[in-house]
Amino acid sequence: MKIGSYTLTNRLIVAPMAGVTDRPFRTLCKQLGAGHAVSEMMAADMSLYAQKKSMFRANFDGELAPISAQIAGSDPKQMAEAARYQVANGAQMVDINMGCPAKKVCKRLAGSALLQDEDLVAKILDAVVAAVDVPVTLKTRLGFANGQENILRVAQRAEQAGIAALAIHGRTREQMYTGEARYSLIREVKQRLKIPVIANGDINSPAKAQFVLEQTGADALMIGRAAQGRPWIFREIAHYLLTGEFLAAPSLREIHTVVLQHLTDLYAFYGEYSGCRMARKHIAWYTTNLPNSHAFRAAMYTETSTATQAEAVEAYFARLMVQFDPSQPLAA
């Protein structure tokens, strides 16, 4: 799988997710089998870049290459300037967001709202590709509204503009994340384009990954929500696609190790206050399907320091390791 001049280690990509795919999470997913990861969305409006949140999102220090920065906006000149900024900041690829369905993003005519204006889509694509000398990719949806799917036209225009790879979520903006992803249009896009096409949506298991590849003929898969609290899904899928065999689930001891590594990285990255709060959702995702986790999470949410939060996590796993064999997989 190649994007521009970059050869990925495999064809499994971490989807950009706001508030989730920060540098610690991207790094962890790459360590656990992802071949590539795209940063969480960053606004093209440069006046926002001094904000603390934007500074965290644009931090690529020490990240495993290739580094991909996703930008979002509706003004072609701002998008071009944002692309140049991210490349100067260390990005080796730039990804354009035309897929986010969030109301606050669409209100600004950014994200998936852009799909309502194909002329503006073309201007943004042309401006960003011309602005930088690194591969530019595009993340989008089938269309804005059901019955108005225009992905075939958008995809062809993207290829004409010089987009290096195209990731498609198999839903319209109207669908948000409801119902099931539709793969037939992704297959049509793949049949018409020469650039790599990446399928996204509802890929939550090795078997589903194989199914989506067969249904779409895509060059790669992009996985988002299924990796929350389960970053090892990438190695599970990679193993299955390579061998046709299911990899054993991680042992209780390994889950414990992964969680602690992730917490350590989050604390170091965000600092005391934000680190503790950013870690809460990840701890909740990791423990959702583990025994006696509801009461643990309720208590964990009350912790306001990284030290006491980490202690609570250690105590919870210590109790589990007394009850269960830590060398074996564990399910609720």
Catalytic-residue membership of 100: yes
Helix (H, G, I), strand (E, B) or coil at 26: helix
Torsion sign (Cα): 303, 305, 311, 314: positive
Yes or no: say if 240 and 214 are a contact pair by the CB < 8 Å rule: no
| CA–CA distance, 6 with 279 (Å, rounded to integer) | 32
217 Ramachandran zone, left/alpha/beta (phi>0; psi -120 to 50): left
Pairing state between β 36-37 and 220-223: unpaired
Both structure tokens of 157: 């225009």
Tell me, rounded to whole angstroms, the distance of Cα 219 from its chain centroid.
Answer: 17
Residue 32 has a CB neighbour count (10 Å cut-off) of 18
Q: How far apart are CA 73 and CA 228, in angstroms?
A: 26
**Active-site residue (options: 29, 100, 106, 276):** 100
Beta strands 6-7 and 2-3, pairing class: antiparallel
State the first-to-last Cα distance of the chain, in angstroms, to the nearest integer: 37
Contact 303, 313 (CB under 8 A): no
Q: b or e along 136-164 (b: 16 or more beta carbons within 10 Å of the residue's beta carbon)?
A: bbbbbbbbbeeeebbbeebbebbbebebb
Residue pair 269/277 in contact by the 8 Å Cβ criterion: no
DSSP H or E stretch at residue 264: helix 252-270
User: Any idea which residues carry the catalytic annotation?
Assistant: 100
